[in-house]
Structure 1
Amino acid sequence: MNTAIMVVLVMTGVGLIFGLILAFANKAFAIEVNPLIEIVEEALPKGQCGACGYAGCAAYAEAVVLDPDVPPNLCIPGKKPVADEVAEITGKKSAEVEPQVAQIRCNSGIAESTKKYNYVGIEDCIAASLVQGGPKGCQYGCMGFGTCAANCPFDALSMGENGLPIVDQKKCTGCGKCASVCPKHVIAMSPIGEPVSVLCNSKDKGAAAKKVCSVACIGCGACKKSCPYDAITVENNLAVVDGKICLEKCNNPICLEKCPTGAIVPLTEDAKKASVVIKEAAAKAKAEKAAQAAQAKKEEK
């Protein structure tokens, strides 16, 4: 009986001693957390997309608060409103954020493309691409297994009946997560509202590209020759549109009529509507900020 009591007392004493040691260590080695980090993190959209270059919103919040060289406009999904808010919290200057949206640069669906073989395996683009580059005839085309849609943190992508991803322009934040997981690099971020797009990713020469896809860009250069603004170049047998030039200067895209395969397509009506909504929201946010600044200046006087 006495032995049991002694054991309990000894264990209690040891526990108290270790408790005091841990309490002292916790206080002595405690790291103070800047309260601004939590405030910045709350301002971020919590998509955890990594478009900022950091491992999630918390990591970016810590970096932008503690590192003077980290700009406040790296949160792509948050766009200008979030950039302005982070800049105000951290006391940094916010540069203009260009709105962008994901674009599927492949228009070769089930009906338009050939197959090298019938794929039976994991329904994942990365897994399929490991088997002879994937089952699609065009080695540069979308394989249609939906890896991009599965990885979109904002549910802005879905798979269409033709086996190609569909981008919901209203939900897409331009974070680039879908582009980073696409093994064929079919997805790119483009300026919102550009009049035309080249929906092809093929680098093959004309005859080879046409053989495996009926809507492939054949690099003929007809679009480039017809563009009065030099907004189109041909690189690696593929037409490339400068979205900024096209958006700023072109109101009548002649290139659409000149493309023999239909690889260049006009901006869709849904994209036009989304573009208007986004631009109106940006203009509204800018006006509200200007009004707040004017009010603050008035109160100072």
Structure 2
Amino acid sequence: MHGVVQHSLIILAVLTSLGVIFGLVLAYANKKMAIEVNPLIHVVEDVLPKGQCGACGYAGCMAYAEAVVINPDVPPNLCIPGKDPVAKLVGQLTGKAAAEVEPRIAQVRCAGSHAKAVKANEYHGVQDCIAANLLFGGHKSCKYGCLGLGTCVKECPFGAMTMSEEGLPIIDPDKCTGCGKCETVCPKQVIAMMPIGAAVRVNCNSHDKGTVAKKACSAACIGCTLCKKECPHGAITMDNNLAVVDAKVCMEKCDNPVCLAKCPTKAIRHAILGVVPGSEDTVA
């Protein structure tokens, strides 16, 4: 028995010694092989919004800070949420010229609420738009419309979106930074960015022909082209049965959006955020 205990103590002593030796070797190697980090990287990271949204094209704020400091070809204006103030500050810190960042904000291109959109089936699966879309394109008859399961709301890094009782996301204009994270996660491409100050927008994403679109949703754009014909500035074009507004032309030239009155389904509305899409006329 005594021999067994003595043998165990020897083994323990040997393992402990090896652990100490390996620890010292690793500590020495870590010190010798450590890469000195440019302190400017942390300074730049500190001025970024920390949303980790990826709008800059890099995997988080630290990755962008490192790239913009080390790589002379990476511009200082890639942080969309930070807008011009952050771009100019990053430019000053890195010695680079910062081009102007166009302020933008998210818009929900769908007014297909529970009351207006027709259901194709009942969905009882995972409450996630991406998952629902994998099952026959979702539960709505309109295969272009918002599925209303809130994936965009969950993914917004700035808490700028909420789900309404009508089953559509609402954008908070005071919190939305235009980072585009909600746009990238929407499987229906319902969410898009528009310039801040845009006068009108189309609350629809459907490319179905008029009769099919109207049957699936009473708020759908039916591709009638009346808005396009009415616009005196050529700001509206048609893209495969869907009206598209050039926000820049509209902002620069139009002070009286006469196109709104001609839309038979009210798919084109005042660009008012903070309300359920499709209810803009009640607050305009």
Mapped to 1, the partners of 2:145 and 2:221 lie a distance apart of 12
- Which segments of structure 1 move beyond 2 Å, counting only runs of 4 or more? 1-24, 267-271
The one-letter amino acid of 1:92's match is K
The one-letter amino acid of 2:159's match is D
Q: Which has the higher helix share?
A: 1
Counterpart residue number, 2:131: 127
Q: 2:265 aligns with which of 258, 261, 267?
A: 261
Counterpart residue number, 2:42: 38
Counterpart residue number, 1:85: 89
Superposed CA offset, 1:41-96 (max 9, x none) = 11111111111111111111111111111111111111111111111111111000
SS of the residue 1:248 aligns to: helix
Mapped to 2, the partners of 1:269 and 1:190 lie a distance apart of 11
**Aligned pairs, how many?**
271
Counterpart residue number, 1:238: 242
Counterpart residue number, 2:160: 156
Query: Given the superposition, is the C-alpha separation of residues 264 and 123 from structure 1 closer, same or farther in structure 2, using an over 3 Å criterion?
Result: same
1:186 aligns with 2:190: yes
SS of the residue 2:98 aligns to: coil
Superposed CA offset, 1:82-114 (max 9, x none) = 111111111111000011111000011111111
Structure 1 segment 159-174 matched on structure 2, within 5 A: 159-174=163-178
Aligned CA RMSD, in angstroms, stands at: 2.0
Q: 2:219 aligns with which of 211, 215, 218?
A: 215
| Alpha-carbon offset, residue 127 of structure 1 | 1.2
Counterpart residue number, 2:278: none
User: Normalising by the residue count of structure 2, what TM-score does the alignment of the two structures yield?
Assistant: 0.89
Query: Given the superposition, is the C-alpha separation of residues 252 and 18 from structure 1 closer, same or farther in structure 2, using an over 3 Å criterion?
Result: same
SS of the residue 1:239 aligns to: strand
SS of the residue 1:225 aligns to: helix
Structure 1 segment 138-157 matched on structure 2, within 5 A: 138-157=142-161
Mapped to 1, the partners of 2:206 and 2:66 lie a distance apart of 41
| Alpha-carbon offset, residue 200 of structure 1 | 0.3
Counterpart residue number, 1:106: 110
| Alpha-carbon offset, residue 133 of structure 1 | 0.6
Q: Percent identity?
A: 63
Contact map agreement 2:88 2:98 (CA 8 A) in 1: yes
| Alpha-carbon offset, residue 161 of structure 1 | 1.6
User: Normalising by the residue count of structure 1, what TM-score does the alignment of the two structures yield?
Assistant: 0.85
Mapped to 1, the partners of 2:27 and 2:124 lie a distance apart of 59
| Alpha-carbon offset, residue 18 of structure 1 | 3.3
Superposed CA offset, 1:162-181 (max 9, x none) = 11111001110001111111
| Alpha-carbon offset, residue 260 of structure 1 | 1.4
Structure 1 segment 62-77 matched on structure 2, within 5 A: 62-77=66-81
Mapped to 2, the partners of 1:125 and 1:53 lie a distance apart of 24
Mapped to 2, the partners of 1:229 and 1:124 lie a distance apart of 41
